[in-house]
Chains A and B, each alone.
Chain A
Amino acid sequence: MSTYSIGIDLGTTNSAVSYFKLADAQARGGAQTMLGIPQITAVGAVGEKLLLPSFLYLPNAQEFPAGGLALPWNPTGQGAVAGEFARSHGSKVPMRLVSSAKSWLCHAGVDRLGAILPWQAPEEVQRISPLEASARYLAHLRAAWDHQFPAEALAEQDVVLTVPASFDAAARELTLKAAQQAGLPKVTLIEEPQAAFYAWIEQMGEGFRKHVKPGDVVLVVDVGGGTTDFSLIAVTAKEGDVALTRVAVGDHILLGGDNMDLALAHAVNQRLAAAGKKLDAWQFNALTFACRQAKESLFADAALKHHPLVVPGRGSSLVGGTIKAELSREELTRILTDGFFPKAAVTDAPQSARRTGLTQMALPYAQDAGVTRHLAAFLTRQARAMATAHDAPVAVTGQTFVHPTAVLFNGGAFKAAPLKERVLAVLNTWLAADGGQPVTELAGAELDLAVARGAAYYGWVRHGHGLRIRGGTARAYYVGIETAMPAVPGLEPPVKALCVAPFGMEEGTQADVPPQEFGLVVGEPTRFRFFASSVRRDDRVGTMLEEAAGNDELEEAAPIETTLPVQGGNEGKLVPVNLQAAVTEIGTLELRCLEKGGPGSWKLELNVRMKE
């Protein structure tokens, strides 16, 4: 029996852990408990912080003195280092630094189980897979917990792990595998924007009902260190109380707060370079850090016109080696506020990645830095989808985009009030032009820690307390079926998409069995192409879509595959099967083959090796 519900925010750049005693009858309110995470802060020094930077450093055998990387639970200090020292030292030795493992985990263009990180590291470095890196962070968090709560091992507790709402089925599956690899078998997943909303509810206590009422649509804008995530949560009336339903999630956008600091640093660096001052990689890092501080000061005090930037030299001569620069308000507004949150029209579409003939190998960063343009695309796309859906959870009649009534911000980027104001102003401009009412901000969220806290709260809610956000899967899923046609050289046979899991499948449910039948050869791997759609809300199981490849409502995911086990010399036999999908209690999608007219049932694995 678990004593605690533990929320783990496994972030792209920082991870955090919050915990909630399950026996407590009351929510924690504002005093939401966080775990202090011991980590190496310098060679020979262990400090405790609320955030574990999600960086892993793979040291050279002779690099550090013996015992210099020892942790309370790892007295010899063998193996890779996670946390603050990994980040700070790794910035000077990038070839040994693993970063953004989470973004690689959802990148279908690479072998996510292959030892590929640090990306393009030389032979000598023992590289690891994105899955392994995530598992190492979780293992560190687990050890930190077990060290402080030896009687309540983390593996025995209800662990809730957060994933971006935009994570597809394969990335969720991999996150779960990473947890298992880290020795955490009992893990539930929750989407980060939902977790942020739960944290806000907990913070507000019962008073949250004063801020939201039936008919409201809450837009969660979550700009993390490395990703931007949107979700829409509808508030409806149900049996005299309010009910919360997550009605839509956005696409995966690799664009976050770190990009913003980098953008400022690049701009300043260009000016310095023009003046003949060249920064090395370490100084550039220091400049990025200085830009972040300058940004925070300028955003905090509207009267400041500019903020000095100082980049210390690496040598011991501090005064002599220091390079001076300045960040002006004009620059900050131009690069950050206007660059990342432009006053876009709701009809503006984000520039999309130009497709090249080659497989894109590095991380697929967002091509368009305009968060507001991504937001416009998300809201208009969802309005189109809901306009045609038969029981749209949000009324969109006569609207060109979904009208949110309230906005909840999450992520450290929004510590800057002017950025929140800009998002609200842009939304209000769109709303005014489209005949809507202005939005309100749901204030009071703890931007850095909300996701972990909300996840811990969700674990408690799962035990029958408080209000649960419903919603089910935010996508419908399809398998590709090649249509039979005579071979024509140079022409691929068209692929149809068969819906196997509808939009909005709840946890712990399974879908009907579609009538289409497949023949699987025993002992031979069979692959299916796999598609998802975040906008086709009405497709039922068995719906067949023509021309899956050219359909811009479908997104192709990594393929799925299975091999029917050989039993009693049936190798090579053709077995007729149907496909069935289920959403597990813990929030992952499972696909299985059911033997037609027989008892056989085989799980289809989401292939995470590489999308072809």
Chain B
Amino acid sequence: MEKPIQSETSFWGRLRTAWAGFHRALANPDFCRQVAELLRPAPAPAQAKPVEPPPEKRHASGLGVLSLLQREGRLIDFLQEDMAAFSDAEIGAAARVVHAGCRKMLADCCTLEPVLKDAEGAAIKVPAGFDAQRIRLTGNVAGSPPFSGTLKHHGWLAVAVRLPAVSDAMDARVLAPAEVEL
């Protein structure tokens, strides 16, 4: 057995292997194919397909808002109830609970302002380069801005958001826990 003079990864070791490889590849097509295989850039490791989180995780903040509306204003109770059997007065009374609670929740969670400060019904100009997210054109939409029109709805803009932070550990599907009195 050949006595290694240099370690295989030292400069001389590498030179010796390269030299031998050079000759053998030249002489032996099979060997050459194997080396060519080794020289080809390694394919990128197969991308692990991202595990899509379940919908309740992806939409946890949306569920959180539903939970808030239920907690503060009993909105889900209200919507889930069959209204057919009740009188308008009874529905009206319950609507006050929903209105007062949801209104408080809304005020706590964000500061709302109209997108456009003009009075509804006022004639307004929509300038060139208007923000198409903030302004929706309806009716006879033709030509190019500036447009003249009538403000039908002033829109709403949340200028400050103060939604509570919801822990990841919570199951967002629980919009309201069952209550058991002991």
Q: Which residues of A contact B133 (CB under 8 A)?
A: none
Partner of B90, one of A45, A48, A49, A322: A322
Tell me the A51-101 residues at the B interface (CB within 8 Å).
65-68, 70, 92
| B86 with A320: CB separation less than 8 A | yes
Partner of A310, one of B77, B96, B170: B96
Minimum distance in angstroms from A481 CB to a CB of chain B: 55
| B166 with A319: CB separation less than 8 A | no
In the complex, residue of chain A having the shortest beta-carbon distance to the beta carbon of B86 = A319
Q: Known A41-B164, A45-B64; judge A319-B94 contact (CB<8 A).
A: yes
Interface string of A483-523 (1 = CB under 8 A from B): 00000000000000000000000000000000000000000
> Cβ of A356 < 8 Å from any Cβ of B?
no
Partner of B81, one of A46, A65, A67, A320: A320
> Cβ of B141 < 8 Å from any Cβ of A?
no
In the complex, residue of chain A having the shortest beta-carbon distance to the beta carbon of B104 = A293
> Cβ of B71 < 8 Å from any Cβ of A?
yes
| B94 with A312: CB separation less than 8 A | yes
Partner of B169, one of A46, A66, A316, A324: A66
Tell me the A97-145 residues at the B interface (CB within 8 Å).
none
Q: Which residues of A contact B78 (CB under 8 A)?
A: 318-319
Tell me the A277-328 residues at the B interface (CB within 8 Å).
293, 308, 310, 312, 314, 316-320, 322, 324
Q: Which residues of B contact A47 (CB under 8 A)?
A: 108, 162-165
Minimum distance in angstroms from B98 CB to a CB of chain A: 7
Q: Which residues of B contact A45 (CB under 8 A)?
A: 64, 68, 164-167, 170
Interface-centre pick from A44, A66, A92, A324 (highest chain B CB count, 10 A): A44
Minimum distance in angstroms from B81 CB to a CB of chain A: 5
Q: Which residues of A contact B68 (CB under 8 A)?
A: 42, 45
Minimum distance in angstroms from B93 CB to a CB of chain A: 5
> Cβ of B37 < 8 Å from any Cβ of A?
no
A: number of interface residues (CB 8 Å): 28
Q: Known A44-B170, A314-B179; judge A319-B83 contact (CB<8 A).
A: yes
Q: Which residues of B contact A68 (CB under 8 A)?
A: 167, 169-170
Complex Cα spacing A322 to B162, Å: 30
| A318 with B81: CB separation less than 8 A | yes
Q: Which residues of A contact B74 (CB under 8 A)?
A: 312, 318
Q: Known A46-B165, A293-B100, A310-B97; judge A318-B77 contact (CB<8 A).
A: yes
> Cβ of A43 < 8 Å from any Cβ of B?
yes
Q: Which residues of A contact B91 (CB under 8 A)?
A: 319
Minimum distance in angstroms from B64 CB to a CB of chain A: 7
Q: Which residues of B contact A67 (CB under 8 A)?
A: 167, 169-170
In the complex, residue of chain A having the shortest beta-carbon distance to the beta carbon of B96 = A310
> Cβ of B80 < 8 Å from any Cβ of A?
yes
Complex Cα spacing A318 to B70, Å: 11
| A312 with B97: CB separation less than 8 A | yes
Minimum distance in angstroms from A596 CB to a CB of chain B: 63
Q: Which residues of B contact A49 (CB under 8 A)?
A: 108
Minimum distance in angstroms from A95 CB to a CB of chain B: 10
| A308 with B170: CB separation less than 8 A | no
Q: Known A43-B170, A47-B162; judge A324-B93 contact (CB<8 A).
A: yes
Interface string of B160-182 (1 = CB under 8 A from A): 00111111011000000101010
Interface string of B42-81 (1 = CB under 8 A from A): 0000000000000000000000100110010010011011
Q: Which residues of B contact A293 (CB under 8 A)?
A: 100
Q: Known A48-B162, A308-B96, A324-B93; judge A316-B167 contact (CB<8 A).
A: no
In the complex, residue of chain A having the shortest beta-carbon distance to the beta carbon of B167 = A44
| A65 with B94: CB separation less than 8 A | no
In the complex, residue of chain A having the shortest beta-carbon distance to the beta carbon of B94 = A319
Complex Cα spacing A539 to B169, Å: 64
Complex Cα spacing A604 to B21, Å: 95
Q: Known A68-B167, A319-B90, A320-B86; judge A42-B96 contact (CB<8 A).
A: no
Complex Cα spacing A293 to B78, Å: 21
Complex Cα spacing A66 to B170, Å: 9
Q: Which residues of B contact A48 (CB under 8 A)?
A: 162, 164
| A317 with B90: CB separation less than 8 A | no
Complex Cα spacing A320 to B93, Å: 10
In the complex, residue of chain B having the shortest beta-carbon distance to the beta carbon of A72 = B165
Q: Known A312-B94, A318-B94, A322-B90; judge A42-B77 contact (CB<8 A).
A: no
Binding site for A on B (CB under 8 A): 64, 67-68, 71, 74, 77-78, 80-81, 83, 86, 90-91, 93-94, 96-98, 100, 108, 162-167, 169-170, 177, 179, 181
28 contacts between A and B (CB under 8 A): A41-B164, A42-B67, A43-B170, A44-B166, A44-B170, A45-B64, A45-B68, A45-B164, A45-B165, A45-B167, A45-B170, A46-B166, A47-B165, A66-B169, A67-B167, A68-B169, A92-B179, A92-B181, A310-B93, A312-B97, A314-B179, A318-B81, A318-B97, A319-B83, A320-B81, A320-B86, A322-B93, A322-B97
Taking A45-B166, A308-B93, A319-B90 as known contacts, 10 extra A-B pairs with beta carbons closer than 8 A to each other, sorted by chain A number, are: A45-B170, A47-B163, A65-B170, A293-B100, A308-B96, A310-B94, A312-B74, A319-B93, A319-B94, A322-B94
Binding site for B on A (CB under 8 A): 38, 41-49, 65-68, 70, 92, 293, 308, 310, 312, 314, 316-320, 322, 324
